[in-house]
Amino acid sequence: MTPKPTTGPGPEAEYREFLRAGRFMIQRSAATGRHVFYPRVAAPGTGMEDLEWVAASGLGTIYSITVNRARAGSYNIALVELDEGPRLLTRIEGVETAPIGTRVKARIAAIDGEPAVVFDVVPPAGAA
C-alpha cells in the first residue's frame, strides 16, 4: 500500500477560503449532478471523488425554524433547503422568526469576526 499523496488544503479549508473572499460555494458531483453540503472529499453514498465547486444560487426555503430563548437575548436557528437540494443550519436575519416555506436568500455576514452564510427573507413578488 502506498498512501495517497495529498496536495493543498482540503474541502473544508477551501470552503472557508471562498467565504473569506465573499463567495458562497457548494460542491456538485460531476457524474450525478447532485449537490453536496457540507463540503467533503467525496460524494456521500457513492464515494465518487468528482466533487467540483460551483457558486450556490443563494436561494432557498425555510425547512424548519426555532427561536433559542436565552437570557442574553433570543435568536433564531433555521434549516434552509437550498434550491440545489442540500440543507444547512443557519440564521434568518432581520426577523424574530418566519414561517416554514418562506423564501430566503443567502448573504455572507460576520459572526464573531468570521464570515458565515446567513439568510434574509425574500419579499414576495410585487411587494414594494
Partner 1 sequence: MSGAGLRGRTAIVGIGGAGWGEAPGRSAIELLAEASLAAIADAGLGLADIDGLCAATSTHAFPTLSVAEYLGLKPHFFDGTNIGGASFEIHLLQAALALDAGICSAVLICYGSNQRTAGGRLVSMSEPQWHEAPYKPRHPITAYALAARRHMHEYGTTRAMLADIAVAARQWANLNPAAFAQGPLTREDVLNARMVSDPLTTRDCCLVTDGGAACVIVRADRARSLKQKPAYLLGVGGAHSHRSIAQMQDLTRTVAVESGARAFAMAGLKAADADLVMLYDAFTITTLLFLEDLGFCPKGEGGRYVADGAIGPGGRLAVNTSGGGLSCVHPGMYGLFLILEAVTQLRGQAGARQLRKCDVALCHGNGGTLSSQVTAVLGGAATV
Chain positions contacting partner 1, by CB under 8 A: 12, 37-38, 63-69, 75, 77, 79, 87-91, 97, 100-101, 111-112, 114, 116
3-state SS assignment for residue 53: strand
Cβ nearer to partner 1, comparing 1 with 89:
89
Cβ nearer to partner 1, comparing 49 with 114:
114
Minimum distance from CB of 9 to partner 1 (Å)? 14
Q: What is the CA radius of gyration of the chain?
A: 17
Give ∠ CA 99-103-106 in degrees, rounded to 5.
115
Residue from 32, 41, 35, 36 nearest 7 by CA: 41
Minimum distance from CB of 7 to partner 1 (Å)? 22
Minimum distance from CB of 38 to partner 1 (Å)? 4
Cβ nearer to partner 1, comparing 57 with 66:
66
Question: Which three cell numbers, joined as nine digits, stand for 19?
Answer: 467565504
Cβ nearer to partner 1, comparing 3 with 88:
88
Q: Is the peptide bond before 38 cis (omega within 30 degrees of 0)?
A: yes
Minimum distance from CB of 1 to partner 1 (Å)? 28
Q: How many helices and strands, by DSSP H and E, does the chain display?
A: 1, 9
Contacts (Cβ under 8 Å, ≥6 apart) of 42:
48, 49, 51
